[in-house]
Amino acid sequence: MKELIETIVKPLVDFPEDVQVSVVEEDQRVTYQLSVNKTDMGKVIGKQGRVAKAIRTVVYAAGSSQHKKIFLEIGE
């Protein structure tokens, strides 16, 4: 899943080397924390959050086979 997020996000940003994904696993949930360069935040979020929503949709669909709730947090 981590590789999927990186594959989606890296072509969108100007600084792909700054893209980092960390994973926090708990009992019933998995949280992926996406970190990008400060100047790339707008590109990852998109107008009215459309790009971020699309990324989350793909990640949630890919993770639907797991029996845990999946979350994607986007930050600097």
Residues 58-75: pLDDT tens digits?
999 988 888 889 999 998
Domains of the chain are: 2-75 (3.30.300.20)
The pLDDT, as a whole number, for residue 66 is 80
Q: Cα 22 to the chain's mean position, in Å?
A: 10
Say if residue 9 is exposed, middle or buried (CB neighbours under 10 Å; 0-12, 13-18, 19+): buried
pLDDT in tens, 25-37: 998 899 999 999 9
What pLDDT sits at residue 68?
A: 86
pLDDT at residue 11, as a whole number: 96
**What average pLDDT does the structure give for the chain?**
92
Give the percent of the chain with pLDDT over 70: 100
Maximum distance among all Cα pairs of the chain, rounded to whole angstroms: 36
